[in-house]
Amino acid sequence: MQTITLTDTENKSKIIICNPQFWTYNSGIMGYFRENIEKMAGYEPGFQPTEADVVKLNTNENPYPPSLKVTEAIQKMTSQQLRRYPQPMGDSFRDAAAKILGVKPENIICTNGGDDLLNIAIRAFCDKKRAVAFPTPTYSLYPVLAQIQNCPFIEIPFDEEFNLPAKLASTGAALTIVCNPNAPSGTLVPKDELIQLATELKGKGVLLIDEAYVDFAENNCLELTKKFDNVIVLRSMSKGYSLAGMRFGFGIANKELIKGLLKVKDSYNVNAVSITAATAAIEDQQYFKNNIKKIKIDRKILAEALAKLDFEVLPSEANFLLAKPAKMRAIDIYEKLKEQNIYVRYWAYQDIKDKLRITVGTSQQNQALITALKEILAEG
Ligand SMILES: Cc1ncc(COP(=O)(O)O)c(C=O)c1O
């Protein structure tokens, strides 16, 4: 993709502005699609193996099953609930989540996974003249959604320690997205810095804090949705609550922002089964908290084991680790693990191609990974 790169010599940082007119063409142009759709490559989801007996540490699922209350609630559903359209706003979930989070149901929008909220937000706030901005490297869906919406996207690189770039406050973007904890780094930006950013953006643009992984972090930014009229917090039921297959996420914000987002969503964007499942899952806080505790303990053990194998591991507040091998190329390790049915995530992107992103699995899965890595590194 062709881009404009502005280099700020004083701060030695780059801002990359990707305007639709500079997007390059893919092969296979048909001429039927809107120009921006012809030009874009599309999102590439992580590999989903069909076999059950693999060690799957590549797409940040929770290694534990959903609460038994979820399966019970689904089993109790009637065929009538499938025959009829679902609650348009997912009210059962809104009520349950509002109680747990200490907000009002009108502060919540239910979405078909967190991805649906990102899509709704970009459609609601951005167009050819209204950009979306985000620090990079981050969730690779953001630029894809911008390309679909045909809006410019502004990428501001994180520094080596993944500190929040100060320039994010002055991009002029209609929507700024900060993924916190960030994917794929797992790093967490302190709340104070996001309060500062929201303050600077107030009256100029919306700040969406993507907290898909926040269940595994020590801190979150929920309180900002009460203090600011320009902050949306994204949450996902895929990670902490083990419901990736169900597809359920939600946004929390000031009620006027929620009203606007509701105008943009599909009329029935969450289905009857997923509303039932997500409601049962969020109501079982004890099961949720137990799983989070186990994953945090295993995250520490896995990070230490990787460090012993000379991987450089960033401090993570998510359910995955970004690890840079010292002795072999990341891609070679990735391929060799795959041969043993152990899947981790590798991207050939410039800024992370020397690293692997590894989801924290069960203790046994993590151990299987470490054993395989020892062999691979010993063979070289
Ligand atoms: C950073 C980030 N945000 C949002 C999502 C969306 O999650 P989901 O649509 O499964 O709720 C993901 C999924 O992997 C993610 O990594």
- Distance (angstroms) between ligand 1 centre and the Cα of 374 equals 31
Residue 47 and residue 34 in contact, taking contact as beta carbons nearer than 8 Å: no
The yes-or-no verdict on residue 3 having pLDDT over 60 is no
Tell which of 283, 306, 333 closes a domain: 283
Over residues 73-129, the pLDDT tens digits come to 999 999 999 999 999 999 999 999 999 999 999 999 999 999 999 999 999 999 999
Same domain? 110 vs 215? yes
Question: Coil, helix or strand for 19?
Answer: coil
Same domain? 253 vs 323? no
Lining residues, ligand 1, CB within 6 Å: 60, 113-115, 139, 179, 183, 210, 212, 236, 238, 244, 249
Q: What CATH number did the domain enclosing 116 receive?
A: 3.40.640.10
- DSSP bridge pairs for 342: 55
Same domain? 92 vs 170? yes
- Distance (angstroms) between ligand 1 centre and the Cα of 115 equals 6
Residue 253 and residue 228 in contact, taking contact as beta carbons nearer than 8 Å: no
Same domain? 110 vs 253? yes
The first and second tokens of residue 91, run together, are 């009210």
What per-residue confidence (pLDDT) applies to 19?
A: 82
The yes-or-no verdict on residue 203 having pLDDT over 50 is yes
Same domain? 158 vs 303? no
Domain tally for the chain? Answer: 2
- Distance (angstroms) between ligand 1 centre and the Cα of 27 equals 29
For ligand 1, atom 15, name the residue with the nearest CA: 212
Q: What pTM did the predictor assign?
A: 0.94
What per-residue confidence (pLDDT) applies to 53?
A: 85
What per-residue confidence (pLDDT) applies to 6?
A: 52
What per-residue confidence (pLDDT) applies to 1?
A: 47
The residue-averaged pLDDT of 223-252 equals 98
Per-residue confidence at 2, pLDDT binned at 50, 70, 90? very low
Same domain? 299 vs 257? no
Same domain? 261 vs 290? no
The first and second tokens of residue 361, run together, are 């699995």
Same domain? 258 vs 295? no
* 105 phi/psi in degrees, rounded to 5: -55, -35
The domain of 357 spans: 55-63+286-379
Tell which of 251, 283, 315 closes a domain: 283
Same domain? 254 vs 319? no
Residue 163 and residue 185 in contact, taking contact as beta carbons nearer than 8 Å: no
> Considering only CA atoms, which of 139, 141, 136 is closest in space to residue 168?
136
Q: What CATH number did the domain enclosing 302 receive?
A: 3.90.1150.10
Residue type for position 212 = A
Using omega within 30 degrees of 0 as the cis cutoff, is the peptide bond preceding 66 cis? no
Residue 131 lies in a domain: yes
The first and second tokens of residue 99, run together, are 């109680």
Same domain? 257 vs 120? yes
Same domain? 274 vs 154? yes
DSSP string, 54-117: SEE-SS---SSPPPHHHHHHHHT--HHHHHS---TT-HHHHHHHHHHHTS-GGGEEEESSHHHH
For ligand 1, atom 3, name the residue with the nearest CA: 212
Q: What is the dihedral of CA 233, 238, 242, 248, to 10 degrees?
A: 90
- DSSP bridge pairs for 5: 16
Q: What is the DSSP letter of 239?
A: S
Same domain? 197 vs 83? yes
Over residues 242-267, the pLDDT tens digits come to 999 999 999 999 999 999 999 999 99
Residue 29 lies in a domain: no
CA distance 9 to 12: 5
Residue type for position 58 = N
Residue 355 lies in a domain: yes
Atom number, ligand 1, closest to the C-alpha of residue 138: 1
**Ligand 1 site-directed mutation target among 109, 119, 141, 274, most atoms within 8 Å of CB:** 141
**Ligand 1 site-directed mutation target among 235, 239, 252, most atoms within 8 Å of CB:** 239
The first and second tokens of residue 150, run together, are 């045909």
Question: Coil, helix or strand for 297?
Answer: helix
Residue 81 lies in a domain: yes
Tell which of 283, 308, 331 closes a domain: 283
What per-residue confidence (pLDDT) applies to 380?
A: 79
Residue 317 lies in a domain: yes
Chain centroid to CA 7: how far? 28
Chain centroid to CA 250: how far? 12
Residue 72 lies in a domain: yes
CA distance 251 to 156: 24
- Distance (angstroms) between ligand 1 centre and the Cα of 59 equals 10
Residue 1 lies in a domain: no
- 9, 23, 36, 41, 86 from 3: Cα distances, Å: 18, 7, 15, 15, 43
Per-residue confidence at 367, pLDDT binned at 50, 70, 90? very high
Residue 113 and residue 238 in contact, taking contact as beta carbons nearer than 8 Å: yes
List of residues 6+ apart from 30 with CB closer than 8 A: 38
Per-residue confidence at 232, pLDDT binned at 50, 70, 90? very high
**Ligand 1 site-directed mutation target among 236, 269, 320, most atoms within 8 Å of CB:** 236
The first and second tokens of residue 28, run together, are 């296979």
Using omega within 30 degrees of 0 as the cis cutoff, is the peptide bond preceding 20 cis? no
Residue 45 and residue 177 in contact, taking contact as beta carbons nearer than 8 Å: no
Residue 343 and residue 337 in contact, taking contact as beta carbons nearer than 8 Å: yes
Query: Residue 235: in which H helix or E strand, if any?
Result: strand 231-236
Residue 298 lies in a domain: yes
- Distance (angstroms) between ligand 1 centre and the Cα of 35 equals 27
